[in-house]
Amino acid sequence: MVNKIAVIQKPPVMLQRDATITQMLDTIEEAATQGATLLVFPEAYIPGYPTWVWRLKPGGDMALSSDIHAQLRVNAVDLAAGHLMPLQDAAALHDVTLVVGINEIDSRYSGTTLYNSVVTIGPDGALLNCHRKLMPTNPERMIWGMGDGSGLRVVDTPAGRLGSLICWECYMPLARHALYAQAMDIFVNPTWDSSDMRLASLIHIAREGGCWVVGTATAIQGSDIPDTFPGRDQLYTPEEWINEGNAVIVDPSGRIAAGPLNREKGILYGEIDMEAARRARRSLDVSGHYGRPDIFSLTVNRSHQPPAVFVDA
């Protein structure tokens, strides 16, 4: 069965959750009108990837870092508070599946720690999965806490069985295998990395996993940063490309099927066929006949691991 996919790399409204979601509703309608049934948004899209953490000096720009982080925290997504309901309603209205990167905050616990998460919303509006990035990369650890294995799951969608790892998680062989072992047809990698090396990795994953691979980053310039952003003029120049995007779709043989979409704030469209993925695994199935379970084994703790919680004894 062939499905049309839309890979979005328009810039969000940085540090503004509600404005970003409103913009996304227009994009969902646009892509659905073009016949897309699977829509993928970039890493930490709501309310924007914290690119500033790669520019500020650790310990040297504490006041500005604190101001930016405060806005990020206030505009983070709390699933329990229903912040994604407009997107869930839009998915149901247009009968589409959404994969969306978010800055997540969990009000059930500290209400302060943020997570880099990716959520999958089904065409009935149901939240199918939420995966928190297992290990934030380098200075990202100043922004996000570490996730757990509860979201290392592949879920059924009309386009095929879909799993996701965020950015450099795609370099974690055991995390990849945990998804391969669940008969994954589509691997989604929302990322900030738009480099050629990242593209090479996605091509390898498509071939290794016998799956469609979707990579997306945010195409954004300094001029896209709103004037409400603390220290905007100190951190960015209007004409610079903060990220070039390079959304791409790779087929299960490792060939590029669409993209990369470079320096274009738009939507990359392509077609994916779950049967192509299943046929690709006939000769190489790394979690099946190529797995050698008599030699290798992998145990995954998929239980939810909450942060330390005070218990009144």
Look up 275 and say whether it is catalytic.
no
Say which residues have a Cβ less than 8 Å from residue 13's Cβ, sequence separation at least 6. 19, 20, 23, 47, 48, 226
- Rounded CA gap, 272 and 6, in Å? 11
- Chain CA centroid to CA 45, Å: 8
Which of the residues 167, 169, 208, 244 is marked catalytic? 167
Look up 167 and say whether it is catalytic.
yes
Residue 284: count other Cβ atoms within 10 Å of its Cβ.
Answer: 14
- Rounded CA gap, 196 and 180, in Å? 24
Structure tokens at 197: 């090396």
What does the buried/exposed string (b/e) look like for 194-204 if buried means 16 or more CB atoms within 10 Å of the residue's CB? beeebbebbbe
Which of the residues 4, 43, 104, 130 is marked catalytic? 43
- Do residues 246 and 192 touch, judged by C-beta distance below 8 A? no
Residue carrying the six token digits 């996919």? 5
Which of the residues 4, 10, 104, 133 is marked catalytic? 133
Look up 10 and say whether it is catalytic.
no
- Rounded CA gap, 257 and 193, in Å? 19
- The catalytic residues are 43, 133, 167
